[in-house]
A and B are shown apart, each in its own frame.
Chain A
Amino acid sequence: MHAKGLRALTLATLAALTVTLALVVFYAPNDADQGFIQKLFYLHVPIAIVTLVAYVVAGVLAYKHLRTDERRWDVRSYVVIHIALIFNILGLVTGAIWAKASWGHWWVWDEPTLVSFLIVFLLYATYQPLRFAIEDPERQARYASVFAIMAGAFVPLNFIAVRMASSLVHPRTFATAEGGLPGEMMLVFLVSLAAMTLLFWLLVKYEIAHKHATWQLRALRRRLLGDDAVAPLGRSAAPAIVPEAVGRRADAPAPAPSISPSDAPGAAR
């Protein structure tokens, strides 16, 4: 069910990444100032944009979780933040490579754009430890959602604050006063942005499909072999989802325990 459309999405992502790479190498003109090294722009900037947008999306999903009390929104919010963190690291690494090539330093501490991106990363790096610190799955999901909403609101505010800063080191690529990107560069950038968005969406879908498959298998094992055949859940930062509990409101009558006594984190082992 959750794997539906994965093959088509995988092929589309592969095609988009291939086209992006081809356009970057063969089509995009060399920048007048930076020359060939500016090609990293088509990698670094889309990754950074997708990362920041994903954090905001995770906040919206967390809000839906708090509104509806349906665990699937918490799962989606968790997975989106999980993949966004990977993209965040990619953005930091590709940015550091570009900085070394352009400015001669891997990192520049007095550059607001870089430091703010690092702050966002460090903020979200606390998300998983926060979840791990809370044993009760219901409370874990609720507290994590509150965190995701607050941090998601911080991201655009942080972005606006940095744009208003007057540093001249990091380029403002889309500043209209400076003319913005030429047409060919803009085309390649948009294709790259689409490719990175597809890649992000693909990884999120893979992760969610895997989590649901794991839990369905666990539920099947319990039905077939009994509770004793299923190892109790250990403490985990990942949301504890069970197929029959997905989509059910907390106040709805439970058809079956969503988490069996032996599953409860902290149960005697």
Chain B
Amino acid sequence: MTLLATVLAAAPAVPYDKAGRFVAAGFIVLFATLLVYVLIMATKLQRLERELADLDAELQRRERAGRAAAAGGEDGP
């Protein structure tokens, strides 16, 4: 809170009238666009992780099958 009070005290007279709202709108547009981009990337990343998990599960299944086959071969005559 002290830090915030210090920052606000150092701020020049920021007009909260029409001009201030327009400037704020400009920056909000930028950061909202960035947020949307990050959300899209997060969705794509989740999809990649799901596919990686599928591949990992398949690989583990094959490794288990390979080990079982090898163990079966050793037990044989």
Indicate if the CB atoms of A97 and B29 lie closer than 8 Å. Answer: yes
How many chain B residues touch the partner (CB < 8 A)?
A: 27
Size category, A interface: 20 to 34
- Taken together as a complex, chains A and B put the C-alpha atoms of A206 and B34 apart, in Å, by 13
CB distance from B62 to the nearest CB of A (A): 8
Interface string of A71-98 (1 = CB under 8 A from B): 0000000000000001001100110011
In the complex, chain A residues whose CB is within 8 Å of the CB of B22: 37, 40, 97-98, 100-101
In the complex, chain B residues whose CB is within 8 Å of the CB of A39: 23
Which residue from chain B places its CB closest to the CB of A43 in the assembled complex?
Answer: B26
Indicate if the CB atoms of B41 and A210 lie closer than 8 Å. Answer: yes
Q: Which residues of B (28-61) have their CB < 8 Å from a CB of A?
A: 29-30, 33-34, 37, 41, 44-45, 48, 51-52, 55, 58-59
Which residue from chain A places its CB closest to the CB of B34 in the assembled complex?
Answer: A199
Query: Does chain A have a CB within 8 A of B72?
Result: no
Interface string of B8-24 (1 = CB under 8 A from A): 00111011001110110
Say whether chain B's binding surface is mostly helix, strand, loop, or mixed: helix
Q: Which residues of A (34-67) have their CB < 8 Å from a CB of B?
A: 35-37, 39-40, 43-44, 47
Indicate if the CB atoms of A90 and B33 lie closer than 8 Å. Answer: yes
**Residue in contact with B29 in the complex, picked from A21, A26, A90, CB distance below 8 Å:** A90
In this complex, the member of B18, B19, B44, B48 whose beta carbon has the largest number of chain A beta carbons within 10 angstroms is B19
Indicate if the CB atoms of B30 and A35 lie closer than 8 Å. Answer: no
Indicate if the CB atoms of A217 and B52 lie closer than 8 Å. Answer: yes
Which residue from chain B places its CB closest to the CB of A21 in the assembled complex?
Answer: B27
CB distance from B6 to the nearest CB of A (A): 12
**Residue in contact with B58 in the complex, picked from A26, A40, A224, CB distance below 8 Å:** A224
Query: Does chain B have a CB within 8 A of A203?
Result: yes
Indicate if the CB atoms of A210 and B44 lie closer than 8 Å. Answer: yes
Which A residues contact B (CB, under 8 angstroms)?
21, 25-26, 30, 35-37, 39-40, 43-44, 47, 86, 89-90, 93-94, 97-98, 100-101, 199, 203, 206, 210, 213-214, 217, 220-221, 224-225
